[in-house]
Amino acid sequence: MFWRLVNGALFRQKGKMLMIAFTIALGASLATAMLNVMLDVGDKVNRELKTYGANINVIPKEASLLDDLYGVDEGSGVSDRYLQESEMGRLKTIFWAFNIVDFAPYLDAKIRMPESEDAIRLVGTWFANRLELPTGESLDTGIRNMKSWWTVDGEWLSDGDTDAAMVGRLLADRAGLSVGDRLSVSLGDKERNLTVKGIFDAGSEEDERVYVPLPIAQEMAGRAGLVTGVEVSALTTPDNELSRRAAQNPNSLSVKDWETWYCTAYVSAICYQIEEVLTDSVAKPIRQVAESEGAILEKTQLLMLLITVLSLAGAALGISNLVTASVMERSREIGLLKALGANNAPISWLVLTEILITGVIGGVIGYFVGLGFAQIIGQTVFDAAINIKPMVIPLVAILVFLVTLAGSIPSIRLLLSLRPAEVLHGR
Amino acid sequence: MSLLEIRGISKIYGNVNALRNVDMTVEQGEWLAVMGPSGSGKTTMMNIIGCMDKPSEGTVLLDGIDISTESARNLTSIRRDKIGLIFQQFHLINYLTALENVMVAQYYHSMPDEKEALQALDRVGLLARAKHLPSQLSGGEQQRVCIARALINYPMLVLADEPTGNLDEANEEIVLDIFRKLHEEGITIVVVTHDPEVAQEAQRTVILEHGRIARIVVNESGKGQEGE
């Protein structure tokens, strides 16, 4: 009998129920789309931001001290402290290894060129080096991914090149170099002839430099197996009060706070973990990059959350109006049921069941429409598909349930206040 | 002990005194009619007797229970167990068949029993129309479904509000005939009506005017008596 009553109400009021289902579907679709995008946008935005370079710089401890005390750039060649190239694979063994997207060790050296009176900075680095990790996996990493905004005439170097170089645009123009030219460089008594394989435009001081594969720089500088530093591009969580405290002194944290901080992908936590694996190293966040990444991500997610909340609030209002109208329309029927001996609880349950069934139908439709919306947003904004997050299903289910319930509260209150004498006899 | 005993009840809606100091009793198995012009307090009295409203003052004892002080929840329970309601507008649920309309009352009382519901429809001569929707029934048939619904839970008191108000003469006679049978079976009936012919069928007629009992007419085989 209960289901007969539910069924009858659903079909008799199908216009109104369709409107309720549509309202719920709209809310659920926006919630689904926004939650999927929100949960995926972190990676998407981070990856997008990773194209603007490294956010952590790792240098030897003493070089860092010179920098801190005298403002001497670690790349000036004044320090004779280095990191071990062989330890680079350890970067992918830290707790947040998965968040280390790319890294490139570099070795700086001051060289001389016949075309220039001043010393030129030679940078040996990885371009897209195949690295066999201690975990047994392999990884291609280097500046080719990290400096994706460089515009290159000619081509990128490969790590196996033994006599090739990439020259910055400003230096190339000053020295009259073009792609394919031979370039003679000297460091102390060592001299090498390199072919200009590419001329890059970085839009920064890097345009004054010469880039070569790391082994060439190591051989010229006589620093086999050593690097001056490492640029690391990592996915990070926006800083908060805890991470700021930890950045100043991790040892000042309580055990619980320390664990929370260590197990969250704060840039300071990742720096700390890098220092743990690279001998005598200091990892420093490139603050501007790290902070703006965090801020952009935080604001984007907040925007998504606001849209979700507003869409659900709108749906709740819509449901509230429609269900209240439905209850008012059915006041005689509800009054009759009360007159026949039905208490408030079974009548409320009857109306709630009708609305929840409508909510389930609307929610399921809304979920699938929302997946479509998410893909449209993904393609339009990030030019990539949004990964469907299974956890959105229970989230949307709970939200739809709560919104439907919240939207039904005014109508349930109205229903409870209905007195059979008033609705049946107009008194 | 009387089945229904009303002692000095008044009902005030804002500035309106719908009932003023009304005393009345209904004996077990009695057929009582309540008559009066519009606004005389008939419907208010029916609502109070039917546990759908409470008096502002006074006491109403139904089967020994003071329903003037019971909570709304208890009143619902008393109404469900002891009272069968018949309405002028029938108030059938239009998406349920005649049978299902009867079974709704069973559902909220105890357990739906199709066989018993069919017997109730048979009792009012509507077995053949059990699977029809209200829209497929005449006014008289709808009222008979309403009567079957009122009787399905074996109430102590059948409370009918203008049961023939929307019926033609032929259907009125059918409904009155059902009432006569119910009375013969010993069911207590209170009928609120405008129609003197319907009231004449009852053993006593209480006439309300301006919320007071103007007089009580006893209709016993032409031995009608009048009193305050």
In a domain, A67, yes or no: yes
From residue B106, give the alpha-carbon distance in Å to each of A171, A269, A364, B188. 96, 68, 35, 20
In a domain, A290, yes or no: no
Question: Could you tell me if residue A8 is inside a domain?
Answer: yes
Mean pLDDT of B82-86: 90
Same structural domain, A193 and A315: no
A251 and A319 inside one domain: no
What separation in angstroms does the CA of B160 have from each of A135, A382, A411, B108?
Answer: 86, 71, 31, 20
Residues A203 and A342 both lie in one domain: no
| A8 interfacial to chain B (CB closer than 8 Å) | yes
Can you tell me the mean pLDDT for A191-202?
Answer: 92
Q: Can you give the pLDDT at residue A427? A: 53
Nearest CA in chain A to B75: A341
- Rounded Cα distance between A37 and A257, Å, is 30
In a domain, A81, yes or no: yes
Please state the rounded mean pLDDT for residues A293-322: 81
- The pLDDT of residue B226: 41
Q: Which of A285, A312, A330 is the C-terminal boundary of a domain?
A: A285
Is A165 a member of any domain?
Answer: yes
Shared domain for A147 and A34, answered yes or no, is no
Contact B80 A341 (CB under 8 A): yes
Q: What is the residue range of A411's domain?
A: 2-46+295-425
Query: Could B108 and A424 be called an inter-chain contact, meaning their C-beta atoms sit closer than 8 Å?
Result: no
Q: Assess whether pLDDT exceeds 80 at residue A75.
A: no
Q: How far apart are CA A264 and CA A252, in angstroms?
A: 17
Last residue of a domain, one of A285, A317, A337: A285
Residue A157 lies in a domain: yes
pLDDT at A341: 84
Q: Is the per-residue pLDDT at A61 higher than 70?
A: yes
A138 and A247 within one domain: yes
The domain tally of chain A equals 2
Residue A242 and residue A126 share a domain: yes
Q: Is residue A372 part of a domain?
A: yes
Asked if A26 and A67 sit in the same domain, the reply is no
Same domain, A272 and A367: no
A199 pLDDT higher than 90: yes
Neighboring chain A residues of B87 at a CB cutoff of 8 Å: 424
The per-residue pLDDT for range A93-148, each reduced to its tens digit, is: 898 888 888 899 999 998 888 777 788 899 999 999 998 887 788 888 999 988 88
Do A163 and A192 fall within a single domain?
yes
Closest-CA distance of chain B to residue A345, Å: 10
Q: What are A65-68's contacts with CB under 8 Å, separation 24+? A: none
Nearest to A341 among B44, B53, B108 (CB): B108
Min CA distance, B9 vs chain A (Å)? 17
In a domain, A101, yes or no: yes
CB contact under 8 A, B53 and A9: no
Q: A340 and A277 in one domain?
A: no
- Per-residue pLDDT tens digits for A343-395: 888 888 888 888 888 888 999 999 999 999 989 988 888 777 888 888 889 98
pLDDT tier at A275, thresholds 50, 70, 90: very high
The model scores a pTM over 0.90: no
> Per-residue pLDDT for B228 more than 50?
no
Give the residue from chain B lying closest to A12, CA to CA.
B95
Q: What ipTM is given for this predicted complex?
A: 0.85
Provide the 8-state DSSP code for B195: -
In terms of Cα–Cα distance, which of A250, A214, A248 is closest to A231? Answer: A214
Chain B residues with CB-CB distance to A338 below 8 A:
76
Beta pairing, strands A226-227 & A83-84: antiparallel
Contact with chain B for residue A345, Cβ under 8 A: no
Q: Could you tell me if B52 lies within 8 Å of chain A, comparing CB atoms?
A: yes
Asked if A275 and A309 sit in the same domain, the reply is no
| Any B CB within 8 A of A1 CB | yes
Contacts of A34 by beta carbon, 8 Å cutoff, 6+ apart: A304, A305, A307, A308, A311
- What does the pLDDT average to over A76-91? 79
Nearest to B87 among A343, A346, A424 (CB): A424
Please choose, from the candidates A226, A230, A197, the residue with its C-alpha nearest in 3D space to the C-alpha of residue A211: A197
CB contact under 8 A, A421 and B112: no
B43 vs A: CB within 8 A: yes
Contact B100 A9 (CB under 8 A): no
The pLDDT tens digits for A308-327 are 888 888 888 888 888 888 88
Same domain, A83 and A122: yes
CA distance A394 to chain B (A): 35
Whether domain B4-227 has CATH 3.40.720.10: the reply is: no
**Predicted pLDDT at A68:** 54
For residues A231-257, give the mean pLDDT.
84
User: To which H or E segment does residue A140 belong?
Assistant: strand A138-141
